[in-house]
Amino acid sequence: MILTFFDQFSSPYLLGIPLIFLSMLLPPLLLPTPNNRWVTNRLSTLQLWLTNMITKQLMTPLNKPGHKWAIILTSLMMLLLTINLLGLLPYTFTPTTQLSMNMALAFPLWLATLLTGLRNQPTTSLGHLLPEGTPTPLIPALILIETISLFIRPLALGVRLTANLTAGHLLIQLISTAAITLLPIMPAVSALTVTILFLLTMLELAVAMIQAYVFVLLLSLYLQENI
């Protein structure tokens, strides 16, 4: 069977069982066990500190009414962070490289922020479609442009996350293939390629975390415009 570089974006199977299910067993093992104390060990302390820091960063741009979204945004951030990092493990699958999943996350949440603004302050929300002081001849064109930019937001959210993760995974596979191919021919060049691969893997770890944060941060900024 001839494999292509894009076969890595399909879930691998072992004895008919998707290996993504096995990798998804790892995050629940890190969750603290029920106890009558808030903090039971250092791992629980680290988890609480991380969750608290993420929540503070996401709630900073929002005013008090937007704090009702804290649980949704923090949960989404932890979900994306877990999925993105799990996808870097061998023989796993990254669901966030699929545009369909990212759009399924982006569109309903963007629509919820938009409907929240139309319900609570319809005049202000519709006023975003026409900047103040616009010359009269430009009003129809600007309304059309602002409307298109408004509806393209969920597409931009989904495509940004998909493109960044897909590009990173393709680069890792290309460089690793080159390192294996060059090993019997030019060992020195192969060693240099492995070094580049290691640095790229570290970069991809950072990208996985940054893209999860950017996705949720942009949603919080869209929410701030409508509350």
Q: Is 33 helix (H, G, I), strand (E, B) or coil?
A: coil
Mean pLDDT to the nearest integer, 207-215: 91
Q: How many domains does the chain have?
A: 1
Show the domain range for 101: 1-226
pLDDT single digits (tens) 86-141: 888 877 778 888 888 899 999 999 999 888 888 888 777 777 777 777 777 877 88
Q: What angle do CA 64, 73, 120 make, to 5 degrees?
A: 45
Which strand (E) or helix (H) includes residue 14? strand 13-14
d(CA 69, CA 35): 27
pLDDT single digits (tens) 158-193: 999 999 998 888 888 888 888 888 888 888 888 898
d(CA 109, CA 204): 26
pLDDT value, residue 54: 84
Q: Is the pTM of this model over 0.95?
A: no
- Measured over the CA atoms of residue 87, residue 211, residue 154 and residue 120, the dihedral's sign is positive
Give Cα 225 distance to the centre of its chain. 21
Q: Is 7 helix (H, G, I), strand (E, B) or coil?
A: helix
